[in-house]
Amino acid sequence: MSERIYLSPPHLSGKEAQYINQALDANWVASTGEHLDAFEAATAERCGVKHAVAVSSGTAALHLCLRLLGIGPKDEVLIPSLTFIASAAAAVQAGATPVFVDSEHTSWNIDPDRLGEAIDDGRRRGKRAKALIAVDIYGQCADYHRLLPICQDAGIPLIEDAAEALGASYRGQPAGSFGELAILSFNGNKIVTAGGGGMLLTNDHRHADRARFLATQARDPAPHYQHSTVGYNYRLSNLLAGVGRAQLSVLDQRIAARKANFIAYRQSLGQLPGISVMPIADWGSPNYWLSCILIDKARFGTDREAIRQRLEAENIEARPLWKPLHLQPVFADTRVYGGEMVAQLFERGLCLPSGSALTDEQRLKIIEIISQTH
């Protein structure tokens, strides 16, 4: 059996060990240090925001965002149904109730029309959502020129979940810079990784200061341990920040490699009857985190699952698109606006190996297998 081809494995730059060794030599192995400062500064600059706070995961960053906005029990949070569980898990951790919204056809991100419906209906129910978590799905920005005015009119703060979209942009503006707060993930499957980690982004220094305070157990300024509120142990290690720093320095190469994957899949698979690739909206420049295809069984002759199993038999990892959150057992009783679009995407959609270290030969093999599966 040939070596397994993974969906989106880490791709080291070669500079990680040097940064880690620096931290080890200097004894800065915990929650402060030069790498943390440099990693935050480089990320803030890349995303065009004033402040970045490095934390232990993207989920922790989202949880902090909700806490900063004072969101808690009985509050509703609007979330696209097509996303990874983390987007909603943070709301649940905060004690809030997710409300799910369908996606549009242009970029598979949250549908502004459906969002408007959800907000209007909330008004009728006497319930104004306390935040929108807008996700940039698969590395492509949501339609912020439509989403931001809707949120402004309704008085609802926008949190951008850019976990999958570092390096992408919308009308020239970087992912991670939309809304009052934004988050990134440096988990192992993302476009660059810190071996695990996340970042909270904001232009508001009060949010940044408060996030740092809450992420380090909310210690009041006093020589003894004193607490006026309860925080979290969410700070990223300086060792991991060193890994993140090394990875960030090769982000543009990683985007170029993932884009090449997408283009190759589009030029080959996209030409087959019954197969289409993820649409790219004209409003932005994705980071091409994952390359996804849709399979129309009636026209292609076989379905998503048959293709996935065929690839698996060759030791190649492909995955269905995110199972919509409104279809998850844990959210069976949760409110959803629309949902048909994402249900169809889930039924037909497959994410193909998209790593930046994928070789031309590996990609050709994947394309061949799929072409022959019908």
Binding residues for ligand PLP (CB under 6 A): 57-59, 83-84, 86-87, 135, 161, 163-164, 185, 187, 198
- With beta carbons less than 8 A apart as the criterion, state whether 348 and 304 touch: yes
Instruction: Locate the DSSP E strands across 230-335.
Output: 275-277, 284-285, 291-295, 319-320
Residue 77 beta carbon to ligand PLP: minimum distance, rounded to whole angstroms = 13
Minimal CB distance residue for ligand PLP: 58
Encoded tokens for 195:
């071996």
Q: Which is nearer to ligand PLP, 64 or 370 (CB)?
A: 64
**Alpha-carbon gap, residue 334 to 374, rounded angstroms:** 38
3 state SS of 242: helix
Residue 287 beta carbon to ligand PLP: minimum distance, rounded to whole angstroms = 12
Q: Which is nearer to ligand PLP, 240 or 370 (CB)?
A: 240
Residue 228 beta carbon to ligand PLP: minimum distance, rounded to whole angstroms = 28
- With beta carbons less than 8 A apart as the criterion, state whether 79 and 112 touch: no
Residue 317 beta carbon to ligand PLP: minimum distance, rounded to whole angstroms = 17
At 324, give phi and psi (nearest 5°).
Answer: -50, 140
3 state SS of 97: strand
Q: Which is nearer to ligand PLP, 86 or 275 (CB)?
A: 86
**Alpha-carbon gap, residue 291 to 242, rounded angstroms:** 28
Residue 133 beta carbon to ligand PLP: minimum distance, rounded to whole angstroms = 9
Q: Which is nearer to ligand PLP, 23 or 200 (CB)?
A: 200
Burial of 330 (0-12, 13-18, 19+ CB in 10 A): exposed
Place of tokens 């492509």: 140
Residue 13 beta carbon to ligand PLP: minimum distance, rounded to whole angstroms = 19
Q: Which is nearer to ligand PLP, 129 or 240 (CB)?
A: 240
Q: Which is nearer to ligand PLP, 71 or 275 (CB)?
A: 71
